Amino acid sequence: MAIKPKKKATRRPKILSRDGVLKAVLDNGLTVVLKENHNAPVATFWCWYRVGSRHERSGITGISHWVEHMLFKGTKTYPKATVDQVVSREGGVWNGMTWLDFTTYFETLPAAKIDLALQIEADRMVNALFVPKEVESERTVIISERQGGENYPQFLLGEVLHATAFLVHGYHHETIGHLCDLQSMTRDDLHSHYQTYYAPNNCVAVGVGAFEAKDMLARIDKAFGRIKPGPALPKIASVEPEQKGERRVTVEGEEMTSYIDVAYRAPDARHPDFIALVVLDAILAGLSFGGGSTNASSRLYRALVDTELTTDVSGGLVPTHDPFLYIIGATVRQGRTPAEVEAALDAELQKIIDQPPAQAEVDKAIKQAKAQFAYGSESVTNQGYWYGFSEMFADTTWFEQYLDRLAQVTLDDVHRVAKEYLAKSRRTVGYYVPKKQG
Amino acid sequence: MTKDEGQSRIAHYAPRIMHHVSRITHQSASIPGPETIERREYPNGMVVLVKENFSNPTVVIDGTLRFGSADVKREQAGLASFMTDVLMRGTQRRTFQQIYEEIESVGATADVSAGLNASSFGSKSLAEDLSRAIDILADVLQHPAFPEAEVEKVRGEILTDLQERADDTRRMAGLTFRELLYPDAHPYANSGTGYTETIAALTRDDLERFYRERTGPQGMIVVIVGAVKTDEAFRIWEDTFGNWTVANNHRAALPDAPRVSNARRKSVDVPGKTQSDLILGFVGPPRSAPDYFPAALCNTILGVFGLNGRVGAKVRVQGGMAYYAYTSLEGGLGPGAWSVIAGVHPSKVDRAVELIRAEIKRICESKVPAKELADNKAYITGSLPLRLETNDGVAAQISNMELYGLGLDYLQKYTDMVNAITAQQVQAAAQRYLDPDAYALAIAGPTSK
């Protein structure tokens, strides 16, 4: 794809909504989401692409993540690995991320410098070079990234757990990809993936910070408006079939500590039950979203950690485009076994399956979410993350209406989703245990 | 966590930019300083600093206590962090569950945690819940009960964590590195978390005694930042901490930590892993050292800037050998470590060490070119607004100003101070602390050599 001269300088982006947030679509299909925030003289700019492990098939697992790395390895304008230096020298921070449904890039800069981010992102949307030598150099970096993960039992267990929970869907493999694929993928595989998915019509640009939204939109249009839209994107046909019965996996390692993960099939983020599951998760294991909070007053902490079966417990609920998992994980305390933990977990879960929670527990979840929301709003980078992330599985209204929808969740809703989604027949139980001697 | 100064901050503009219309008011207006921070000293020895910020409805408390794992002998290693963990486990008025129910039910956090030279406590809450958070902090710091059952629960959690550490290449490299770097008698050589045998042997009485002797308002620093009126913040804090008058002991001076005089290398076998972690480093300057600033800039050049500076460029970007390769300068109240950290395949360890030593040699032997120096200064000064974006960020900066005696106008002077650093000073700092032939090198991975 090449940058073509703009036909008309007077072209105006179509503004879709304007409710504290300006949302527009450029002629080439680029969605733009902007929010002014003048609390500090900083701004963040993100480009979100709808491509992640969801879009990968066997043989090219990990390709989206590798492409992300290659976008730091050079264009004509920013050759080799200079783009990071260009941002740093302006006092900025930057990163790239790839996950289940998306690949994203951001720069957060002193507000007066934010145009630099627009230039960089518009350039690498279409001009990344994929120089063969750089592809090879990055191959070993990514293999090293994978091997760093392999040093941790939680990674090894998670990989097998996902692969067991999903037979068909792209969510079955890790975003980093399988080692054999990382060893065998070619420069052309990567470049073709890039050409397929990197186009304005598959991208959401997000800006939050100390700028004027309309002015910023004009600057984004100037930077991105000339990039031609790409062809229609490949349809993802894989649909995970219904799970019929519990699945169990065990991974053995040299480590002395055991771990347990129990993964329940969860709905996608747009499903009406998802928000009730957010409350259920908060009651069971503390609110997943936001992070940084303790969960010592949650039901599962009391049932597993307080009783000295585990040293921690966590609940993981991720908003995703397609149905994913709700994963309860714990580190088994010295001298205890995963089976003991599983029995206690089942007994505790049975209580909320048998009986609705108390109103106070739901109120607590809502208050926690309200506080997390306020903490998250301090940082423009964090807001940029949520505006963009929500576009990857729903749209920005998902994020904006999150607290209101949470407040409408009833005791019956929580009880109903507990009964439905915590069924043993739709879960995968994973143990990580020390290798048997002899 | 230890209260260590990380990299730093503000704006030397080297505009390579296009057309921007800056609507930003002059930056010093938004940088905390004597005009916007109020500081009060109290008869019981505590210092409280308050900075209002009504742009969001939250309040952060960032507190520092004058004890740490450096005050603990090797045979009791882990005592400080074991003690602070148990502080949150019950008071004379509240059980463990009551403490966390009160905190978590309003979506707040509160914690106390031991560091190396200083320990920290703090909270984050919505402004409407500030009194509750302070009441809990006052209760756990002034009236802990050290319940026997909770001591045993925490002990089991720490022992499990130590079991995990033994299987963790990063943590084992870190543990081994400190043992190599510091003399046996130096407390920095010991693990802050402890060892299986020390944790197993510590008693409830040991914890309570350490609390009684070390925890008090003498030298305590409290920073409150957020949506609360200054007078109101002082009033709540004085009501709950003003009458706390126990005398915490004075601390023994740290023994010397001489420069490493030779190349020391130690490998730890962590079976079943695919990657090795290595740490190569030196005894670095404390935050109070006159050459701390040049050393910090040198560290940025060596292993922070862009994709982790010169080391990252050689080991990751050009060498394709590692996903992470960077440097870290602890600074802090004592002679913390200055180190290079990388994760590489076991077969690449020697090559990575060679590249790292070559970069250390280069920064010791040659002056940093003017452009590279200017870029690095621009980064650490230009990124200051990003560090001051959140209440946590502002509180951490104010806390550092007080802890290290930098003055309330420190951030306002910061840019000029950084810009005044010369290439000669950077090289002198490198030569003083770094040496390509005399270092501590710890490696943890699947095969020992």
Question: Which pair of tokens denotes residue B137?
Answer: 């902090």
A40·B11 Cβ contact <8 A = no
Residue A346: CB atoms within 10 A of its CB come to: 14
One domain, residues A265 and A348: yes
The predicted pLDDT at position A3 comes to: 42
The residue in chain A having the minimum alpha-carbon distance to the alpha carbon of residue B390 is: A378
Does residue B59 surpass a pLDDT of 90? yes
Mean pLDDT of B424-429: 98
Taking alpha carbons only, the member of A2, A186, A36 closest to residue A111 is A36
Q: Are B326 and B339 in contact (CB under 8 A)?
A: no
Tell whether A403 is covered by a domain: yes
Q: Are B2 and B117 in contact (CB under 8 A)?
A: yes
pLDDT in tens, A345-371: 999 999 999 999 999 999 999 999 999
Alpha-carbon distance of B366 to B171, in angstroms, equals: 33
Residue reference for tokens 């031991």: B114
Residues of B in contact with A115 (CB under 8 A): 17-20
How many cross-chain Cβ pairs, A to B, lie less than 8 Å apart?
221
Q: Are B199 and B206 in contact (CB under 8 A)?
A: no
Does residue A308 surpass a pLDDT of 70? yes
The predicted pLDDT at position A13 comes to: 59
B307·A108 Cβ contact <8 A = no
Q: Are B363 and B295 in contact (CB under 8 A)?
A: no
Mean pLDDT of A309-318: 96
Using CB atoms, which residue from A140, A210, A368 is nearest to B321? A140
The residue in chain A having the minimum alpha-carbon distance to the alpha carbon of residue B377 is: A89
Helix (H, G, I), strand (E, B) or coil at B338: strand
Which of A178, A193, A224 lies at the terminal end of a domain, its last residue? A224
Residues of A in contact with B124 (CB under 8 A): 375
The predicted pLDDT at position B30 comes to: 74
The residue in chain A having the minimum alpha-carbon distance to the alpha carbon of residue B313 is: A81
Does residue B17 surpass a pLDDT of 70? no
The residue in chain B having the minimum alpha-carbon distance to the alpha carbon of residue A256 is: B163
Closest approach of B386 to chain A, Cα-based (Å):
7
One domain, residues A192 and A294: no
Buried residues in A248-266 as b, exposed as e (16+ CB within 10 A)? ebebebebebbbbbbbbbb
The predicted pLDDT at position A59 comes to: 96
The predicted pLDDT at position A11 comes to: 52
Does residue B4 surpass a pLDDT of 60? no
Mean pLDDT of A368-393: 93
- The β-bridge relationship of strands B439-445 and B263-269 is parallel
> B1, B9, B21, B24: which to substitute to probe chain A, counting the most A Cβ within 10 Å?
B24
Does residue B45 surpass a pLDDT of 80? yes
Closest approach of A45 to chain B, Cα-based (Å):
14
Residues of B in contact with A71 (CB under 8 A): none
Residues of B in contact with A79 (CB under 8 A): none
Taking alpha carbons only, the member of A399, A379, A380, A381 closest to residue A389 is A399
pLDDT in tens, A251-280: 999 999 999 999 999 999 999 999 999 999
Alpha-carbon distance of B78 to A347, in angstroms, equals: 35
B305·A369 Cβ contact <8 A = no
Residue reference for tokens 């069971």: A284
Does residue B117 surpass a pLDDT of 80? yes
Alpha-carbon distance of B391 to B411, in angstroms, equals: 15
Mean pLDDT of B123-139: 97
The predicted pLDDT at position B18 comes to: 19
pLDDT in tens, A77-105: 999 878 989 999 999 999 999 999 999 99
Which of A189, A224, A259 lies at the terminal end of a domain, its last residue? A224
- The β-bridge relationship of strands B221-226 and A310-317 is unpaired
Q: What percent of chain B has pLDDT over 70?
A: 93
The predicted pLDDT at position B263 comes to: 97
B318·A137 Cβ contact <8 A = yes
Hey, which residues 13-72 in chain A have their CB within 8 Å of chain B?
39-42, 72
The residue in chain A having the minimum alpha-carbon distance to the alpha carbon of residue B21 is: A112
Question: Which pair of tokens denotes residue B224?
Answer: 């409150």
A136·B271 Cβ contact <8 A = no
> B390, B392, B414: which to substitute to probe chain A, counting the most A Cβ within 10 Å?
B390
Alpha-carbon distance of B86 to B82, in angstroms, equals: 6
A148·B343 Cβ contact <8 A = yes
Taking alpha carbons only, the member of B351, B312, B287 closest to residue B8 is B287
- The β-bridge relationship of strands B221-226 and B119-126 is unpaired
What contacts A89, CB < 8 A, 6 or more positions away?
A: B14, B375, B378, B379, B382
Helix (H, G, I), strand (E, B) or coil at B265: strand
The predicted pLDDT at position A306 comes to: 97
Alpha-carbon distance of B127 to B210, in angstroms, equals: 33
Residues of B in contact with A39 (CB under 8 A): 55-56, 389
Alpha-helical runs (H) found in A111-177 = 115-126, 132-150, 153-165
Residues of A in contact with B89 (CB under 8 A): none
The predicted pLDDT at position B12 comes to: 25
The residue in chain A having the minimum alpha-carbon distance to the alpha carbon of residue B9 is: A91
Taking alpha carbons only, the member of B227, B243, B210 closest to residue B65 is B210
- Find the CATH number of the domain harbouring A174: 3.30.830.10
> B27, B86, B158, B167: which to substitute to probe chain A, counting the most A Cβ within 10 Å?
B167
The predicted pLDDT at position A19 comes to: 63
One domain, residues A264 and A359: yes
Within an 8 Å CB–CB cutoff, is residue A250 touching chain B?
no
**How would residue A291 be classed by pLDDT, with cut points 50, 70 and 90?**
low
Average pLDDT in chain A: 93
What contacts A311, CB < 8 A, 6 or more positions away?
A: A305, A330, A331, A332, A333, B156, B157, B160, B161
Tell whether A238 is covered by a domain: no
Q: What percent of chain B has pLDDT over 90?
A: 88
A334·B163 Cβ contact <8 A = yes
The predicted pLDDT at position B7 comes to: 25
The residue in chain B having the minimum alpha-carbon distance to the alpha carbon of residue A138 is: B320
Q: Domain residues for A257?
A: 247-434
The predicted pLDDT at position B14 comes to: 23
One domain, residues A180 and A82: yes
One domain, residues A196 and A100: yes
One domain, residues A207 and A286: no
Q: What angle do CA A321, A326, A331 make, to 5 degrees?
A: 140
Within an 8 Å CB–CB cutoff, is residue A139 touching chain B?
yes
> What is the pTM (predicted TM-score) of this model?
0.92
Tell whether A9 is covered by a domain: no
- The β-bridge relationship of strands A310-317 and A103-110 is unpaired
Q: Are B104 and A285 in contact (CB under 8 A)?
A: no
Taking alpha carbons only, the member of B385, B437, B393 closest to residue B29 is B385
Using CB atoms, which residue from B97, B106, B388 is nearest to A40? B388
Using CB atoms, which residue from B11, B22, B323 is nearest to A91? B11
The DSSP call for residue B150 is: H
Our count of domains for chain A comes to 2
- Helix or strand (DSSP H, E) at B263: strand B263-269
One domain, residues A324 and A416: yes
**How would residue A12 be classed by pLDDT, with cut points 50, 70 and 90?**
low
Tell whether A2 is covered by a domain: no
Taking alpha carbons only, the member of B26, B226, B216, B209 closest to residue B121 is B216
One domain, residues A99 and A39: yes
Using CB atoms, which residue from A119, A147, A332 is nearest to B275? A147
Which phi and psi angles does B409 have, rounded to 5°? -95, 10
- The β-bridge relationship of strands B37-41 and B58-65 is unpaired
Does residue A333 surpass a pLDDT of 80? yes
Which of A224, A255, A281 lies at the terminal end of a domain, its last residue? A224
Hey, which residues 152-181 in chain A have their CB within 8 Å of chain B?
152-153
Buried residues in A20-33 as b, exposed as e (16+ CB within 10 A)? ebbbbbbbbebbbb
Alpha-helical runs (H) found in A225-355 = 273-285, 299-300, 338-354
- The β-bridge relationship of strands B337-344 and B322-329 is antiparallel
Using CB atoms, which residue from B104, B126, B156 is nearest to A333? B156
Mean pLDDT of A387-414: 95
A91·B275 Cβ contact <8 A = no
Mean pLDDT of B140-166: 98
The predicted pLDDT at position A342 comes to: 98
pLDDT in tens, B329-353: 999 999 999 999 999 999 999 999 9
Tell whether A47 is covered by a domain: yes
Tell whether A66 is covered by a domain: yes
One domain, residues A220 and A251: no
Question: Which pair of tokens denotes residue B177?
Answer: 């590195």
- Helix or strand (DSSP H, E) at B443: strand B439-445
Using CB atoms, which residue from B106, B385, B386 is nearest to A367? B106
The predicted pLDDT at position B20 comes to: 23
Taking alpha carbons only, the member of A362, A342, A355 closest to residue A280 is A362
Does residue B209 surpass a pLDDT of 80? yes
Hey, which residues 82-121 in chain A have their CB within 8 Å of chain B?
84-93, 108-116, 119
One domain, residues A286 and A368: yes
Report the sign of the C-alpha dihedral through residues B415, B421, B427, B428, in that order: negative
A187-197 helix and A63-70 helix, angle to the nearest 10 degrees: 90
Q: Are B91 and B145 in contact (CB under 8 A)?
A: yes
Using CB atoms, which residue from A138, A293, A379 is nearest to B104? A293
Tell whether A231 is covered by a domain: no
Using CB atoms, which residue from A115, A296, A332 is nearest to B17? A115
Average pLDDT in chain B: 91
Mean pLDDT of B112-138: 97
Q: What percent of chain A has pLDDT over 90?
A: 89
The residue in chain B having the minimum alpha-carbon distance to the alpha carbon of residue A283 is: B105
One domain, residues A182 and A65: yes
What contacts A196, CB < 8 A, 6 or more positions away?
A: A230, A233, A234
Residues of B in contact with A110 (CB under 8 A): 11, 24, 382, 385-386
Does residue B9 surpass a pLDDT of 80? no
Domains and CATH numbers, chain B: 33-241 (3.30.830.10), 263-445 (3.30.830.10)
Residues of A in contact with B343 (CB under 8 A): 144, 148
Alpha-carbon distance of B103 to A296, in angstroms, equals: 10
One domain, residues A200 and A256: no
> A84, A89, A284, A366: which to substitute to probe chain B, counting the most B Cβ within 10 Å?
A89
Which phi and psi angles does B291 have, rounded to 5°? -100, 20
The predicted pLDDT at position A80 comes to: 82
Taking alpha carbons only, the member of B313, B228, B253 closest to residue B57 is B228
The residue in chain B having the minimum alpha-carbon distance to the alpha carbon of residue A139 is: B320
Tell whether A172 is covered by a domain: yes
Hey, which residues 298-337 in chain A have their CB within 8 Å of chain B?
298, 302, 305-306, 308, 311, 331-334
